[in-house]
Amino acid sequence: MRLREAVAADVAAFVAAHGRAPGLAVVLVGEDPASRVYVKNKGVATRAAGMVSFEHRLDAGVSEAELLALVAALNADQAVDGILVQLPLPAHIDGDKVLAAIDPAKDVDGFHPVNAGRLAVGQKALVPCTPKGCLMLIEEALGDLSGREALVIGRSSIVGKPMAALLTAKSATVTLAHSRTRDLAGHVARAEIVVAAVGVPEMVRGDWIRPGACVIDVGINRVVAADGTSRLVGDVEFAGASVRAGWITPVPGGVGPMTIACLLANTVEAASARLAA
Ligand code: NDP
C-alpha cells in the first residue's frame, strides 16, 4: 500500500535526522475482544513501520485517576510522540475527560477538542484516522472533489463529523445524515460520494446508489447466520451496490487497513511537528 510505503520512508528520514524512531503509546483498558484485536494490530503495524510501540494494558477495574496519571506520564515522556487510548472505556471512567487529558500535540487519534476545533475552523490539526483514510480513498477515486455532492451517514465525533468537515474543506457539497434524517434513500440517490458510518448491517440498499458513485463503507458489523457461523459485513449492501457504484470499498479490507495506515502517518507527523516546535 502506497501510504504505508510513504510512512516507512518518513520514519527512515526521522531516524536519520533525530537518532531515534517515533514512538506510539497505546493504552488498552479491560478485555473487550474487539479492542484487544485492534490494539494488537496497531502494535504489529507500528513495529512493521519501523516505529517503537509502547503498549499499556490495564485491568478493567483501574480507576480514572490511575488512567489519568498514566496519560500524564506519557505526555511527559520524550520517547512517546503519539498517545492512543483505545475506546470504549469502562463505564466508571469519563472518556471525554481522559481524551481531553492527552497532550493535543500527541493526540494521534485526533479526538482532543483542540484538534477537533482546529479541523472545524480549517486550521492544521491531527485528523481522526478513519475519516482521513476515507478522504484519501475518495480523492484517489475521484480526484478534485470541488462541487461534488457528498453524503455522510452518521454524525459521530470519530467518523461522521470529521468526515463532513474534511469533505467541506475540499469544497464538496456535504449532507450529514443521521438517525432522524428523512428519506435517506433519496439522499443516497443524489450523492456522488457516499460515506456510510452507521453500524447497522447493510442498511444502505444497493439499488439506492447513484450509478457511478464512490461508496465508502466504514461500518464493521458481525452478523451470525442460522447455522451459527459469523461474518463481517458493512453498512452497505455490497452485492447490490457494487454493480451500480463506480468505486466501492469492501468490508473487511477496505477502510480498516487505511485507518491503521493513517494512525502511523499521524504518529510520524506528530513526532516531526513536536521536534520542529
Ligand atoms: P456511532 O454509533 O457513534 O454513530 C452512529 C451514527 O449513525 C449516529 O450518528 C447515528 O445517528 C447514525 N444512525 C444510526 N442509525 C441510523 C439510521 N437508521 N439512519 C441514519 N443514521 C443512523 O458509530 P461510529 O461512528 O463510531 O461507527 C460507525 C460504524 O463504523 C460502526 O460499525 C463502527 O464499528 C465502524 N467503524 C469502523 C472503523 C474502521 O476503521 N473501519 C473506525 C470507526 C468506526 P444519531 O446521531 O442520530 O444517533
Q: From the CA of 221, give the closest atom in ligand 1.
A: 32
For residue 1, what pLDDT is reported? 67
For residue 57, what pLDDT is reported? 97
Of 152, 198, 232, the residue with max ligand 1 atoms within 8 A of its CB, to mutate for a pocket test, comes to: 198
Select from 220, 212, 276, 277 the least CA-distant residue to 246: 212
Q: From the CA of 180, give the closest atom in ligand 1.
A: 47
Q: CA–CA separation, 250 vs 254, rounded Å?
A: 5
pLDDT, averaged across the chain: 97
CA of 80 from ligand 1 middle (Å) equals 31
For residue 98, what pLDDT is reported? 98
Residue whose entry in the numeric block shows the C-alpha cell 500527541 = 106
SS3 assignment, position 124: coil
Per-residue pLDDT reduced to its tens digit, 5-18: 999 999 999 999 99
For residue 2, what pLDDT is reported? 85
Per-residue pLDDT reduced to its tens digit, 202-252: 999 999 999 999 999 999 999 999 999 999 999 999 999 999 999 999 999
For residue 277, what pLDDT is reported? 80
Mean pLDDT, to the nearest integer, of 11-40?
Answer: 96
**pLDDT of 80 over the 90 cut:** yes
Answer for the pair 32, 88: CB distance below 8 angstroms, yes or no.
yes
CA of 111 from ligand 1 middle (Å) equals 16
Q: CA–CA separation, 102 vs 88, rounded Å?
A: 16
Fold (CATH) for 2-105: Rossmann fold (3.40.50)
Scanning the chain, the segments in alpha helix (DSSP H) are 2-18, 33-48, 64-76, 95-101, 113-120, 129-142, 160-169, 184-190, 238-242, 255-276
* CATH class of the 129-255 domain in this structure: alpha beta
Q: Say if ligand 1 is within 6 A of residue 181 CB.
A: yes
Between residues 275 and 231, the one the model is more confident about: 231
Of 89, 159, 205, the residue with max ligand 1 atoms within 8 A of its CB, to mutate for a pocket test, comes to: 159
Domains in the chain: boundaries = 2-105, 129-255
Same fold, 2-105 and 129-255: yes
